[in-house]
């Protein structure tokens, strides 16, 4: 027997599949998750497979309107092969189907396929239903403030396992993870009974924090191709440089490169180079020995040591100070480093992925980034497309996020409104807009976008504040402007002004300028 169920962010298909496994425990040879779009094609493949050994197929809730003509042809072929096909749903089929080709069971009184399956199987499983799942996996009342939910509440471990299984089916065509997840649910198996590879699958998924590459435009297809090429290159040490505007998903790409590489079961360590004062960067990257400096009471491992055997992702590499760039270059050339205060060189096996929204070539020209380091980092370059360059993906990206926020799809009108905007903040800005709409209950997305345009008006426009003509006043004005740009960060401001930090401090004292950020 083959059980076919669907995918669903509210897990009702998983619940239905687990119930079916419980009822037909000794007869089920396989279980597949599939969408209505691919159901006719999949059934047709089964009907044409000479080695198919399923005498019965049960379809749980998957829609029949993906391709009606191909579906009917597949059902006729399966009938000729004496394969019984049954369909359980909460809605009537979209067209008439001969009952000899498809045995139809409709539970119109239920809200979702999970509750329909529970009712359908109750007469054979009876009281066993109450013992199939852990206590938190049960029906729950819908909140009076919200629209009716699916009525299901799953324990967190099962949610993570199902989310990971569906994600890796989309991204890596993993065909077995979903069916194994449902078997664990049907048998009440919590994590200690999962395989190590299944636990690792969940860990990898949680590391992504729900972010993934979404869309089927040529730009997104090319990006996925580049990710696979960088992940599966014959040289597992080949460094990757990810370039692109802020908010395009550079960290997501870095994570996916690691997850699709031979190092996927090793450490993936991330660090933002703009988050730490320059004098502390070296100790963060390479670690230090006890007594190396004031406050070093115990030895500490650096990021390179923690990532040994795995991948180190350095974000905003363009913010790395010149003195730290030289140290990093030496590690890349030799594969060795010393802890601060240490005398022994440490061998390290780390794949380095870096990212920046800066124009590194321009920074090299201005002597703000080392040319030799640039070429060391830029072995496998990936350029992230801005969202405005693939607007055809906006609907799919927005719907994916909206499902996570509200558990239902956006309307066509809402999607059209979202498509009429340029998104200077890219996918990050789109996600923030959707979160605002969900939090405030905004359904008029034309209004939402008009408000957003007002909020960011002038952000990228010309500076209307005219500089003073007096030379000293002009210098004071310019320094304050750069300090404001970098939120008072003296190190960044000094680098932008192309002066030393000491010189900046001197000029700030001279002009009475104040910064509450001492980095």
Segment 438-485, tens digit of pLDDT: 999 999 999 999 999 988 876 654 444 567 777 888 888 888 888 877
Q: CB 176: neighbour CB atoms within 10 A?
A: 14
Q: What backbone phi and psi angles, to 5 degrees, belong to 268?
A: -120, 110
pLDDT-derived band at 384 (thresholds 50, 70, 90) equals: very high
Q: Residue 127: pLDDT above 80?
A: no
Who wins on pLDDT, 404 or 291? 291
The whole-number pLDDT of residue 219 equals 95
Let me know: does 385 contact 245? Beta carbons within 8 Å: no
3-state secondary structure of 344: coil
Q: Residue 146: pLDDT above 70?
A: no
Percent of all residues in the chain with a pLDDT value above 70, rounded to a whole number: 89
Please, what are the domains in the chain?
A: 2-208 (3.40.50), 222-383 (3.40.50.300), 387-455 (1.10.8.60), 471-511 (1.10.10)
32 burial via Cβ count (<10 Å: 0-12, 13-18, 19+): buried
Q: What backbone phi and psi angles, to 5 degrees, belong to 440?
A: -100, 0
CA–centroid distance for 192 within its chain:
26
| Gap between the Cα atoms of 345 and 39, Å rounded | 58
Q: Look at strands 311-315 and 345-347 and give their pairing.
A: unpaired
Who wins on pLDDT, 25 or 31? 31
| Gap between the Cα atoms of 440 and 442, Å rounded | 6
Q: CB 366: neighbour CB atoms within 10 A?
A: 9
119 burial via Cβ count (<10 Å: 0-12, 13-18, 19+): middle
Is pTM beyond 0.75? Reply is no
Structure tokens at 354: 């870096």
pLDDT-derived band at 280 (thresholds 50, 70, 90) equals: confident
The whole-number pLDDT of residue 152 equals 53
In this structure, of 36-50, 272-286, 343-357, 377-391, the range with the lowest mean pLDDT score is 272-286
Let me know: does 419 contact 241? Beta carbons within 8 Å: no
The whole-number pLDDT of residue 491 equals 84
Who wins on pLDDT, 155 or 426? 426
Q: Residue 231: pLDDT above 90?
A: yes
Q: Which residues share a beta bridge with 382?
A: 242
Average pLDDT, the chain: 85
Let me know: does 251 contact 227? Beta carbons within 8 Å: no
């Amino acid at each position: 027997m083959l059980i076919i169920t669907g995918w669903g962010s509210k897990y009702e298909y998983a619940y239905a599949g687990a119930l079916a496994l419980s009822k037909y425990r000794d007869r089920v040879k396989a279980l597949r998750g599939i969408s209505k779009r691919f159901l006719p094609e999949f059934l047709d493949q089964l009907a044409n497979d000479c080695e198919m050994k399923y005498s019965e197929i049960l379809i749980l809730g998957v829609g029949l309107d993906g391709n009606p003509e191909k579906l009917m042809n597949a059902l006729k072929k399966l009938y000729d092969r004496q394969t019984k096909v049954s369909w359980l749903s909460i809605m009537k089929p979209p067209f008439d189907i001969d009952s000899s080709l498809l045995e139809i069971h409709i539970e119109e009184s239920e809200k979702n396929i999970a509750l329909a399956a529970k009712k359908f199987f109750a007469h054979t499983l009876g009281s066993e239903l109450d013992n199939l799942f852990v206590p938190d996996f049960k029906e729950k009342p819908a909140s009076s403030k919200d629209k009716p939910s699916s009525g299901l509440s799953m324990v967190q471990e099962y949610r993570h396992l199902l989310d990971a299984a569906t994600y890796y089916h989309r991204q890596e065509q993993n065909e077995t993870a979903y069916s194994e997840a449902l078997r664990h649910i049907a048998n009440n198996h919590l994590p200690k009974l999962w395989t190590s590879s299944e636990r690792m699958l969940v860990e990898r998924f949680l590391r992504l924090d729900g972010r993934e590459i979404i869309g089927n435009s040529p730009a997104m297809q090319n990006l996925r191709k580049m990710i696979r090429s960088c992940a599966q290159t014959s040289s597992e040490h080949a460094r990757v440089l990810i370039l692109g505007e802020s908010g395009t998903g550079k960290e997501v790409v870095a994570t996916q490169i690691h997850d699709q590489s031979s190092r996927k079961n090793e450490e993936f360590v991330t660090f933002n180079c703009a988050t730490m004062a320059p004098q502390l960067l070296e100790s963060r990257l390479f670690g230090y020995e006890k007594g190396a400096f004031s406050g070093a009471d115990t030895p500490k491992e650096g990021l390179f040591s923690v990532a040994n055997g795995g991948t180190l992702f350095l974000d905003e590499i363009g913010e790395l100070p010149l003195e730290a760039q030289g140290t990093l270059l030496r590690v890349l050339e030799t594969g060795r480093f010393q802890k601060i205060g240490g005398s022994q060189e440490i061998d390290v096996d780390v794949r380095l992925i870096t990212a920046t929204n800066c124009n590194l070539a321009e920074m090299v020209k201005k002597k703000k980034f080392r040319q030799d380091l640039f070429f060391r980092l830029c072995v496998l370059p990936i350029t992230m497309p801005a969202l405005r360059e693939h607007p055809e993906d906006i609907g799919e990206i927005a719907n994916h996020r909206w499902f996570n926020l509200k558990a239902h799809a956006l309307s066509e009108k809402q999607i059209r409104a979202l498509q009429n905007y340029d998104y200077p903040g890219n996918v990050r800005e789109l996600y923030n807009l959707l979160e605002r709409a969900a939090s405030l209950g905004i359904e008029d997305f034309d209004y939402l976008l008009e408000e957003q345009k007002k909020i960011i008006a002038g952000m990228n426009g010309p500076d209307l504040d005219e500089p003073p003509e007096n030379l000293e006043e002009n210098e004071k004005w310019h320094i304050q402007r750069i300090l404001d740009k970098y939120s008072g960060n003296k190190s960044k401001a000094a680098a932008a002004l192309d002066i030393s930090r000491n010189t900046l401090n001197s000029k700030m004292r001279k002009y009475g300028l104040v910064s509450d950020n001492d980095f």
